[in-house]
Amino acid sequence: MDELLRRHRDVMPSWMPIYYDEPIEIVTGKGARVTDSNGKSYLDFFAGVLTNSLGYDLDEVREAVERQLRTGIVHTSTLYLIRQQVELAEKIARHSGIPDARVFFTNSGTEANEAALQVATNARRSSTILAVRNSYHGRTAGTIAVTGNRAWSASALSPFTVSYLHSGDRLRGLFKGMSDERYLEAAAEDLREVLATTTAGAVACLIAEPIQGVGGFTHGPDGLLRVWKEILDEHGILLISDEVQTGWGRTGEHFWGYQAHGVTPDLLTFAKGIGNGFALAGVVGRQSVMEQVQGISFSTFGGNPVATAAGNAVLDYILDHDLQANAARTGAILLDGLRAAGSPIVVEVRGRGLMIGIELTSVAKTNAVFESCKRDGLLVGKGGLYGTTIRMGPPLNLTEEEAREGLEILTMALREHA
């Protein structure tokens, strides 16, 4: 591993972060478990940063992909008709909750958000955008511009004029210690004030994550998107819900994160979990908005035959096995168990379904718990604006037994570093 790490460092840029004091190379996987090049096995609660929605090597997904590969067509051109692409678009449109939905496929969440921003700025003939502090939306110039976390801003040059709203948890900042009711009032005041003070002319859209993923799984109260949308509607401003992490039933209570807020966005973006590892993402929007794009748009690989074959198998499996309910059930084991464990180094346990964040007292404690979990066979993520959050997004088909096993390792690690 030292040798591979040295070669990685010799050939790849230093701004690519690598996890762990002693980085690992994952070589095989089955279900919710992976094995590294030393033969050590781990329960994977980070699952490719929430991409491996069905874990590893699920028969249904592998067989769908193999069937496609056997046709000889890994890819031709997305300028031809692709049956499984159309089928997947129909299913996503049907389940999106957006009336008269149109679907455009891309290869990544970044491109999905870039496409949504293109649609919104075209529709409104404006390049002024509202975004949210502590957000993450991607790696292109446009999506970096709406990412409210300077550590992730590899470019300071913005193609948009962006104003940021307050958001997030109630541990610090504007909403510190506020009740739900007061939070929603303050968020409405904040939006009105931003519109009155830091924008001029038409505003195209607000882009927001229902639960901030990279930001540390922070979120406001239910109803926040509704409160925002009511004000946006007064001005004709579009709402984009970035569902890259919160989609496909991950939050347990709902299929999409926006549904906790009693409102329907104009556009939503999806990625990660729909491909179960294959590069598949996209944007869904009302036809009247989607059709406003000037000129044509195209993606060489977006919605390609292999990725959409996987996507159909993944979505069918999630729906047929009601994995949204499983996310609620197994997520509750983790959330309740972590809250009951009550450690002095835990500031807050938050999240929904199988999207769970543990806020710890310091960066050092976060790193220590993170390393101990790995030593004991559990992969988790870390992050948050202050680097003090342990983040977990296990496969949606996690079993109750696996949830308890992970909980045990986590609680031991929290105890060890208390």
Binding footprint of ligand PMP on the chain (CB under 6 A)? 49, 108-110, 113, 136-139, 209, 213-214, 242, 244-245, 271
Q: Which two tokens stand for residue 162?
A: 């962006």
Least separation in angstroms between CB 257 and ligand PMP = 10
Closest residue to ligand PMP in the complex (CB) = 109
Q: Compute the least distance from the CB of residue 145 to ligand PMP, in Å.
A: 13
Pick between residue 245 and residue 388 the one whose CB is nearest to ligand PMP.
Answer: 245
> Measured from the CB of residue 382, what is the shortest distance to ligand PMP in angstroms?
14
CB environment 325-354: b (16+ within 10 A), e (fewer):
ebbbbbbebbbebbeebebebbbbbbbbbb
Cα 209 to Cα 359: distance, rounded to the nearest angstrom: 19
Closer CB to ligand PMP, 393 or 402, in the complex: 393
Alpha carbon distance 249, 247 (integer Å) = 6
Nearer residue to ligand PMP within complex by CB, 84 or 143: 143
Specify the residue, 148 or 402, whose C-beta has the smaller distance to ligand PMP.
Answer: 148
211 contacts 251 by C-beta, under 8 angstroms: yes
**Residue holding tokens 């906790």?**
260
199-231 exposure pattern, b = at least 16 Cβ within 10 A, e = fewer? beeebbbbbbbbbbbbbbbbbbbebbbbbbbee
Structure tokens at 262: 């009693």
* Smallest separation (angstroms) from ligand PMP to the CB of 217: 10
Cβ proximity to ligand PMP: between 241 and 372 the closer is: 241
Structure tokens at 312: 């159909």
Give the nearest distance from C-beta 189 to ligand PMP in angstroms: 26
Q: Are 380 and 392 in contact (CB under 8 A)?
A: yes
Q: Report the nearest approach of ligand PMP to the CB of residue 411 (Å).
A: 27
Q: Which residue lies nearer to ligand PMP by CB, 199 or 251?
A: 251
